[in-house]
Amino acid sequence: MIDDDIGNRREVDGNRREVDGNRRAVDGNRREVDGNRRAVDGNRYAIDGKSTSAAVRDATPSDDRGGASDAPSAAGDRTRFFFSLTPEQILDAVESAGEQTTGVCYALNSLENRVYEVELEGGGRVVGKFYRPGRWSDETIRDEHRLLAALAEHEIPVCAPLRFGDPRDTLHHTREGIRFALFPRMGGRSPDELFADDYHQLGRLLAQIHNVSASLELQHRPALTPQTYGRDRLDDILAFGDMPAALEQRYAATVERLIELGEQRYARALEGTRLFVAHADCHRANLLRRDGFYFLDFDDAAVAPAAQDLWLLLPARPTDCPKELEELLEGYEQFRSFDQRQLGLIEVLRGLRYVRYVGWVARRYEDPAFSRAFPHFGSETYWQQQLIDVAEQVELLERAEQPYSWG
C-alpha cells in the first residue's frame, strides 16, 4: 500500500541489506540493489489507546475479494512471481515508463503490495507500487486512480499516480502480468501525535475528500459492511483451521453477534443516506506531514460511512477524547454536513476492523512476508485475545444504543 510506504524507508533489523550481495549490471548499467530496508510494523500507531500490537492490528487490515477478476490459475502463477519479484524486474518496470534508473532501489514498508523507491538518473526518485495478484481487477484499481486524480485536480493534498507509456496511463503490467503504478516520491514524515489544530485541519480536508468522491461514479470499489468486513472475513478465519475447537465456537458466535448488532446499527444510522467511496484506512500512519497534511494509501478505498474516515484518527474511544472529536467534526462541518447518527457506528466499525484484520492475515499467511511478520498468529493466546477484543465490542454495543454525541 503506497499507504504506509511513500517517503518512508524503514529497516527491519536496523541494517542495510544487499539484495543479492552483488552490484549488478542490467542493460549495460551497474545496478546496485542497495538494501531491502523493510519495516513490517515499524510505525507507531495509537488508534484506540491500546498497546502497539493491538494498535497495529487496528491500523493495517487490507483484504477484500471485491473487484478481483483473475482466474485462479492465472492469479496463482502471478502470485508466485509476486512473492519472488527481483530487483531487475522492479527496475525494468520503472524503465518501461521511459525513466533511466541508477540501479538503486529500496523496499518500502508494505505487506499487502510490494512497494519500492527507485533512484533515477539525474537525482530524482519514484515509488513503484506492485499490486498483489488476485485481489483487485484493473477496473477496481482504476477507480482508485480516478479518485486520486480528481482529488489532485481539486488541489487536495494526495499522492496521485503518474501517467506514462503509450497510450499514457496510470496502470501497467510487468511481463509476468503483475499490475503496477508509479507515484512521485514525497518527502515528509508520519506525525507522532496530533494536536487540536491538526484535528480541525484534518476534518476540513476529509470533508473536501468526501465532497469530491461523492461527485464521482466509482462503481468498482468494494463496500464496507458487516457482511464484507465481518461474515466474509469470519469465513476466512474458520477456513484457516488453526483455532482450538472450544475457542472457535465461542469466537464464531461472538463475531456473529457483532455482525447482527452491526446490521441493526447500519440500518438505523444510514437510512436515507447516499454513501460514497471513502478512504477507509485513514489512520495516522497514512498521513504525511510536510506543508500541512497529505493523505496516503487509498488502496483500501471502499463505499463506507463517513464515520469510517473519522474514528481511525482519534487517539482513543470518543468518550476519552471529546476535544479531539469536537475539533475533527467542527472542521468537517465547515465543508460538509455530518450525520450524527453515524457516531453510533464507530464501535461497530472498530469491531469489524478487528475481525477483518485477522481474516486478512489468515488469507495471506502463505506469503512468507506474513509468516515472518506474524510469528504468533494462530497460537491459543492469540485467539484468546481476539475473542476478548470482539467480546468487548459486543458488550459495549449491547450496553449503549448511541454511546456518543456531539454538539
Domain final residue, candidates 118, 151, 184: 184
* Residue after which a domain boundary falls, among 163, 184, 205: 184
213 shares a domain with 161: no
The answer to whether residue 191 is domain-embedded is no
**Selection from 303, 284, 286, 313 nearest residue 2 by Cα:** 286
Among 125, 152, 184, where does a domain finish? 184
Does residue 55 register a pLDDT over 60? Answer: no
All cell numbers assigned to 386: 481476539
Q: How confident is the model at residue 37 (pLDDT cuts 50, 70, 90)?
A: very low
Instruction: Tell me: pLDDT of 76 over 50.
Output: yes
- Its domain, for residue 266, covers 196-397
Same domain (yes/no): 201, 319: yes
* Nearest residue to 281 via CA among 315, 314, 311, 309: 309
How far is 218 from 92, CA to CA, in rounded Å? 31
Same domain, 238 and 333: yes
> Which candidate in 3, 5, 143, 297 is catalytic?
297
Quick one: cell of 35?
Answer: 538494501
Residue 406 lies in a domain: no
Does 306 map to a domain? yes
pLDDT tens sequence across 88-106 = 999 999 998 888 999 999 9
What CATH number does the domain containing 357 carry?
Answer: 1.10.510.10
Give the per-residue pLDDT at 8: 40
In a shared domain, residues 361 and 284: yes
For the entire predicted model, the pTM comes to 0.82
The reply to whether 340 falls in a domain is yes
Clarify whether 235 is annotated catalytic.
no
> pLDDT tier at 84 (50, 70, 90 boundaries)?
confident
Q: Do 362 and 244 share a structural domain?
A: yes
Residue range 122-153, pLDDT digits in tens? 889 999 999 999 999 999 999 999 999 999 99
Residues 249 and 346 grouped into a single domain:
yes
| pLDDT band with cut points at 50, 70 and 90 for residue 168 | confident
**pLDDT number for residue 70:** 54
Would you say residue 16 lies in a domain? no
The highest-confidence range among 160-174, 334-348, 365-379, by mean pLDDT, is: 334-348
List 70, 143, 281, 299, catalytic entry: 281
Active site residue 13: no
Portion of the chain with pLDDT greater than 70, in percent: 80
Domain for residue 1, yes or no?
no
What pLDDT digit, counting tens, does each position of 16-33 carry? 333 333 333 333 333 333
Calculate helix-pair angle for 346-364, 232-240, nearest 10 degrees.
Answer: 40
How far is C-alpha 2 from the geometric centre of its chain's CA atoms?
8
305: alpha, beta or left? (left if phi > 0; alpha if psi -120 to 50): beta
Question: With 0-12 CB in 10 A as exposed, 13-18 as middle and 19+ as buried, what is 139?
Answer: middle
Q: Provide the sign of the torsion angle of the four alpha carbons 314, 318, 319, 324, taken in this order.
A: positive
Quote the pLDDT of residue 10. Answer: 37
**CATH number of the domain to which 121 belongs:** 3.30.200.20
Does residue 390 share a domain with residue 305? yes
Examine the domain organization and report whether 156 and 297 are in the same domain: no
From residue 279, alpha-carbon distances to 76, 119, 325 in Å are: 29, 29, 18
- Where would I find the beta strands (DSSP E) of 108-196? 114-120, 125-130, 172-173, 179-184
214 with 358, same domain?
yes
H/E stretch holding 278: strand 276-278
3-state secondary structure at position 98: coil
Place of cell 484506540: 48
Q: Give the number of domains in the chain.
A: 2
On the question of pLDDT at 61 being above 80, the answer is: no
387 and 314, same structural domain? yes
Q: How far is CA 114 from CA 6, 110, 354, 357, 374, in A?
A: 12, 6, 24, 19, 17
166, 292: one domain: no
Query: Mind listing the pLDDT tens digit for each residue in 232-252?
Result: 999 999 999 999 999 999 999
Q: Is residue 247 part of a domain?
A: yes
Q: All 3 cell numbers of residue 168?
A: 499514457
In angstroms, the first-to-last Cα distance of the chain is 36
User: What pLDDT is stored for residue 67 in this prediction?
Assistant: 54
Same domain for 228 and 111 = no
Task: Note whether residue 19 is domain-resident.
Answer: no
Average pLDDT over residues 356-363: 97
Query: Closest by alpha carbon to 5, among 162, 149, 148, 112?
Result: 112
Give me the mean pLDDT over the 164-179 stretch: 88
